[in-house]
Amino acid sequence: MLRFFTVPCLALNPNLILEIGSNNGCRFTKNETAMKEALEKVKREALEAIKTIADLARAKALKAQYLGRKGVVTALLRNISTLPPEERPEAGRLGNVVKQRLEEAFGKALHALETGLGEPRGEALDVTLPGRPLARGRTHPITQVARAICEIFERLGFAIVEGPDVELDYYNFEALNIPRDHPARDMQDTFYISDNVVLRTHTSPIQVRVMESQPPPVCIIAPGKAYRVDSDISHTPMFHQVEGLMVQENISFGDLKGILTTFVHQIFDEETSLRFRPSFFPFTEPSAEVDILCVICRGKGCRVCSRTGWLEVLGAGMVHPAVFEMVGYDTDRYTGFAFGMGIERIAMLKYGIEDIRKFYENDIKFLEQF
C-alpha cells in the first residue's frame, strides 16, 4: 500500500513529498526528475537554514536533521536503491554531490561558531580594486593666509609670539595708552568678562607683554584672534590679526615703510604699491593707515575700493613714548615701530571674497576652494 507522507524534518521543507513504501522505508517516486528536484530543494533549504544559525547547538541539531542517520539527505540516498537500475547511477552521483556540499557548509558553520572567527561570507574580495578615497581635510583659508603672512615676516627676521585671548584690561587698553575714560575705547566695542578682564579687542596687548618680558632689541610678529561686538558683511565678532613690533636704537619711519612695502609685495605682488595716510592710534605717534593699490581695479576705481582706487589694509606707527614708559624702556635711547592688520581682510582681497562671514559658515563647498 502506498501513501503520501511529508518527511518529518520538513518543517523546513513542507512541499517535499516522499512516497512511502509498505516496508516503512522512505523512497522517492520512481522518477529521476522528481529525485533531482527533491535533492536540489533539500540542498537549497539546508543552505538557507545554515545562514540563519546563530549558535552551536542549533547548528548541530540542523546538521543531524539533514545529514544524521535519520536525516532527510540520508533518507533520500537510502531510497536510491529502490529506483530502477538505470536511474540509480545518476541519482547516486547527484545525491553524493548534495551530501558533500552540505557537509562542507555545515563544517564551515560549525567551525565558525566553535572558533568565533565568523564564517567567511560568499562575497569575493577583489584586492586589485582601488581603495575608497578618504575625504581629506585641509587648513582653513584664514590659517593658510596667517601662515603665509608669518612666513614672510620670519624671512625678514621677525620671531613669532603669542598672547592670551582673554586679556587683562591693563594690557588691552591701559598699557597701550588708552585710559579708562579715553574715547578711543569706544572705537572697539569690547566683550567684558569682568571689570578688569576682556576678550582682547586687538593683538596689540601682545606688544606690551613682549616688551615687559625682555629688553630691546625686539623684532616680533604676533598672530591671533581678536574679538569685538560687531557683525556685518565686513565684521565678525571673532576675527584674526597679526601684530608687528620692532624696537631698537635708531628705528625710523623709513624702516616701517621698507618692511611693510616688502611685505605687501610678497603677499600680493610687486605691482601693488602702498600709500601711508596720517591717522590716529593712542599707542603710536605718528600714526598711519596704510592703503594698497586696489587689487581688483589696479587704481581705476571699482566697487570693492569704493571708487577710490585704494584699499585700507593696516594700521601702523612709531611706538608712543608713553607705551615705552609703561614697560620701562629708555625713551631717549630706543625707538620702534608697530603695525597691526586683519588677516580676514588680507584673505578677502587675495581671494576676492566680499562677505567676511563666509569664512565662518563652515560651508565645505566654500572652504574646499582654498
Using CB under 6 A, count the residues that bind ligand DAH: 11
Nearer to ligand DAH, 80 or 226 (CB): 226
User: Is residue 281 at the binding interface for ligand DAH, with CB under 6 A as the rule?
Assistant: yes
Do the beta carbons of residue 141 and residue 344 sit within 8 Å?
Answer: no
Cβ at position 170, least distance to ligand DAH in Å = 16
Q: Which string of DSSP letters, residue by residue, matches 332-350?
A: TT-EEEEEEEEHHHHHHHH
Residues 218, 330: Cα–Cα separation, whole Å: 13
In sequence order, which residues have a C-beta less than 8 Å from that of residue 201 and are 6 or more positions away?
172, 188, 189, 190, 226, 227, 228
Specify the long-range contacts of residues 46-55, CB closer than 8 Å, at least 24 apart.
46/12, 46/73, 46/102, 46/105, 47/101, 47/102, 47/105, 49/12, 50/105, 50/106, 50/109, 53/109, 53/113, 55/113
Say what angle helices 72-79 and 56-67 make with each other, to 10 degrees.
Answer: 10
Give, as ranges, the residues between 283 and 302 that touch ligand DAH (CB under 6 A).
284
Residues 165-204, mask of contacts with ligand DAH (x by CB under 6 A): -------------------------------------x-x
User: Is residue 276 at the binding interface for ligand DAH, with CB under 6 A as the rule?
Assistant: no
User: Is residue 223 at the binding interface for ligand DAH, with CB under 6 A as the rule?
Assistant: no
User: Is residue 163 at the binding interface for ligand DAH, with CB under 6 A as the rule?
Assistant: no
Residues 74, 10: Cα–Cα separation, whole Å: 14
Q: Which string of DSSP letters, residue by residue, matches 225-238?
A: EEE-S--BTTB-SE
Cβ at position 272, least distance to ligand DAH in Å = 20
Do the beta carbons of residue 272 and residue 264 sit within 8 Å?
Answer: yes
- Considering only the stretches 22-30, 52-60, 312-320, 322-330, report the one whose residues sit in contact with ligand DAH under the rule CB under 6 A: 312-320
Nearer to ligand DAH, 42 or 314 (CB): 314
User: Is residue 335 at the binding interface for ligand DAH, with CB under 6 A as the rule?
Assistant: no
Do the beta carbons of residue 274 and residue 292 sit within 8 Å?
Answer: yes
Nearer to ligand DAH, 13 or 172 (CB): 172
User: Is residue 338 at the binding interface for ligand DAH, with CB under 6 A as the rule?
Assistant: yes
Provide φ and ψ at 202, rounded to 5°: -160, 175
Query: 246, 245, 321: which is closest to 285 by C-alpha?
Result: 321
Cβ at position 226, least distance to ligand DAH in Å = 7
Which alpha helices (H) appear in the chain, and where do they start and end?
Answer: 32-51, 56-67, 72-79, 88-115, 141-155, 169-172, 205-213, 253-267, 321-327, 343-351, 364-367
Nearer to ligand DAH, 167 or 243 (CB): 243
Cβ at position 241, least distance to ligand DAH in Å = 6
User: Is residue 316 at the binding interface for ligand DAH, with CB under 6 A as the rule?
Assistant: yes
Could you say which of 340, 344, 347, 359 contacts ligand DAH (CB under 6 A)? 340
- Considering only the stretches 65-73, 263-271, 300-308, 332-340, report the one whose residues sit in contact with ligand DAH under the rule CB under 6 A: 332-340
Cell of 22: 509498505
Nearer to ligand DAH, 79 or 201 (CB): 201
- Considering only the stretches 58-66, 117-125, 161-169, 334-342, report the one whose residues sit in contact with ligand DAH under the rule CB under 6 A: 334-342
User: Is residue 339 at the binding interface for ligand DAH, with CB under 6 A as the rule?
Assistant: yes
Cβ at position 191, least distance to ligand DAH in Å = 14
Give, as ranges, the residues between 240 and 259 that touch ligand DAH (CB under 6 A).
243
The residue ranges that bind ligand DAH (CB under 6 A) are 202, 204, 243, 281, 284, 315-317, 338-340
